[in-house]
């Protein structure tokens, strides 16, 4: 990586609530929202490739890294509102919003709840939610229990092979585990998982107005192409891009393909009505 990963800056967004974020680069704003088992450092490849022409803002969600623990309860709306407040803290009216996995669920809610804040939307290896899926709810409970029982590093090590393609290098696998070990906390992961379990965006996808691209690795074993197709078909005009050989943590597994698709999408739609640099 030629561009150093920016350090974390803590922003007060609402009373005593703090959100930590890594911010770097210059140009139109890009808000980067991570998945359940990772954090802002997971966007290392995007900072390397895109910060020359965009200002990247990658948050640590509630309960991750140096961010405040989530409120109890922690509805998905609170995450969307916090993302909008983080843009305010950077003096930004709107941004290109990129959500990876669970981060895409937050990004979708942001586009529905604060449409004027989302210049374009990119859903990477994401989903519409997990409400009404009892089998997956049991998996979620087991995931929280295993983190509590085994600790973050062992929990992340046990999951990493399912998150990337078989050809992913050992260095990437180590990076994924180290990012989790440094930033994932039980409070943050449990709250994020509960928002996933309580959400089903399928009836609302038609209300998303932001120009949208949906990216998915064709070897994603966690959300997968089926769920990405549902997102793309539900959002009017959305483009679906299947990345050959890509696993679930697609922005790290196949960063060149993801970064190229994002830049093309942003270039095409950067002037849509309401967008501001």
Query: Which domains occur in the chain, in start order?
Result: 8-269 (3.40.50.1820)
Rg (CA), the chain: 17
| Residue recorded with tokens 């804040």 | 117
Secondary element (H or E) of residue 268: helix 255-269
Cα-Cα-Cα-Cα dihedral sign, residues 238, 244, 248, 249 = negative
Q: Are 120 and 212 a contacting pair, CB within 8 Å?
A: yes
Predicted local confidence at residue 173, as pLDDT: 98
Q: Which residues of the chain have pLDDT under 50?
A: 1, 272-277
Predicted local confidence at residue 73, as pLDDT: 85
pLDDT in tens, 149-174: 999 999 999 999 999 999 999 999 99
Q: How many CB atoms lie within 10 A of CB 114?
A: 17
Predicted local confidence at residue 207, as pLDDT: 98
- In the Cβ-directed half-sphere of 229, how many Cα atoms lie within 13 Å? 5
Which has the closest alpha carbon to 194: 68, 109, 76, 35? 76
| Residue recorded with tokens 């890009």 | 30
Predicted local confidence at residue 275, as pLDDT: 38
Predicted local confidence at residue 276, as pLDDT: 38
In angstroms, rounded to a whole number, what is the distance separating the alpha carbons of residues 19 and 7? 13
Calculate the alpha carbon distances from 128 to 102, 223, 227 in Å: 9, 10, 7
Q: In 90-223, which residue ranges form alpha helices assigned H by DSSP?
A: 102-113, 134-150, 152-163, 170-183, 186-197
Contacts of 244 (CB under 8 A, 6+ apart): 218
| Residue recorded with tokens 């922005």 | 251
Predicted local confidence at residue 24, as pLDDT: 97
């Amino acid at each position: 990586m030629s561009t150093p990963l920016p350090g974390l800056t803590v922003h007060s967004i609402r009373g005593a609530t703090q959100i930590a974020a890594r911010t770097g680069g210059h140009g139109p704003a890009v808000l980067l929202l991570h998945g359940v088992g990772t954090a802002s450092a997971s966007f290392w490849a995007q900072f390397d490739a895109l910060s020359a022409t965009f200002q990247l803002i990658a948050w640590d969600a509630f309960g991750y890294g140096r961010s405040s623990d989530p409120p109890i309860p922690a509805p998905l709306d609170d995450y969307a509102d916090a993302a909008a407040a983080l843009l305010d803290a950077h003096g930004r009216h709107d941004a290109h919003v990129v959500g990876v996995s669970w981060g895409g669920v937050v990004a979708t809610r942001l586009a529905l709840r604060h449409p004027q804040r989302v210049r374009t939307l990119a859903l990477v290896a994401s989903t519409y939610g997990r409400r009404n899926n009892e089998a997956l709810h049991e998996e979620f409970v087991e995931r929280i229990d295993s983190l509590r029982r085994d600790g973050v590093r062992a929990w992340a090590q046990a999951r990493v092979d399912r998150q990337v393609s078989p050809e992913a290098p050992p260095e990437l696998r180590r990076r994924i585990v180290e990012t989790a070990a440094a930033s994932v906390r039980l409070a943050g992961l449990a709250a994020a998982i509960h928002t996933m379990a309580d959400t089903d965006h399928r009836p609302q996808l038609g209300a998303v107005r932001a120009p949208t691209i949906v990216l998915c690795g064709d070897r994603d074993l966690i959300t997968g192409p089926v769920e990405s197709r549902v997102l793309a078909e539900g959002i009017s005009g959305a483009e679906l891009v299947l990345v050959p050989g890509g696993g679930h943590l697609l922005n790290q597994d196949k960063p060149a393909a993801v970064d190229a698709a994002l830049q093309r999408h942003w270039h095409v739609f950067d002037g849509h009505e309401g967008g501001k640099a």
